[in-house]
A and B are shown apart, each in its own frame.
Chain A
């Protein structure tokens, strides 16, 4: 599953460890999320949403979504 975590993190000049500390997960979890190897729970997705100030659907693309870049 694709997402914009890496882009949003880079915009803030945060490392993966910085982002992990801000949402309370392991750095390895951020690695798996950015690589699209793990689909987060709704609770974790909302944490990212609150942190970045964007709706969940602007950060995570649902499985099977068209190839277009998310808004």
Chain B
């Protein structure tokens, strides 16, 4: 006979849902501000153009807060796996960014610093998926 109990709110599941909600809203806002900065902001000059260009930092900061809150609120194994994935992403990104910076000094074409962020986020995602699969 299956034992029943009152409905429970699993704090780890709730933490994951809060993270996805915050991440989704903040990422959408960041994308909107980036597009606005590249289109409407292109006609601005001086301080206004800088403010519009840097505006996506605010929602990106919310994403950082969401990640920190998730690490704080999730269970011990998910916290460990998340921090491992961040560490692996940091190591990969550091090697690639510094490696390409050395290549640029040697004459390789200069590329946008955006790629460092894309690399960090991408390697974080891949490391998280690979580490999760190791747990079965």
Contacts and interface: CB of A to CB of B under 8 A. Distances in A.
A35 B136 contact: yes
Given A13-B3, A38-B135, A24 B77 contact: no
Interface residues of A, number: 21
Contacts of A33: 77
Interface residues of B, number: 19
A31 B13 CA distance: 15
A20 interface: yes
B136 A20 contact: no
B136 A26 contact: no
Interface string B106-136: 0000000000000000000000000010111
B135 A28 contact: yes
Contacts of B74: 26
A22 B2 contact: no
Interface of B: 1-3, 5, 8, 10-13, 16, 74-78, 132, 134-136
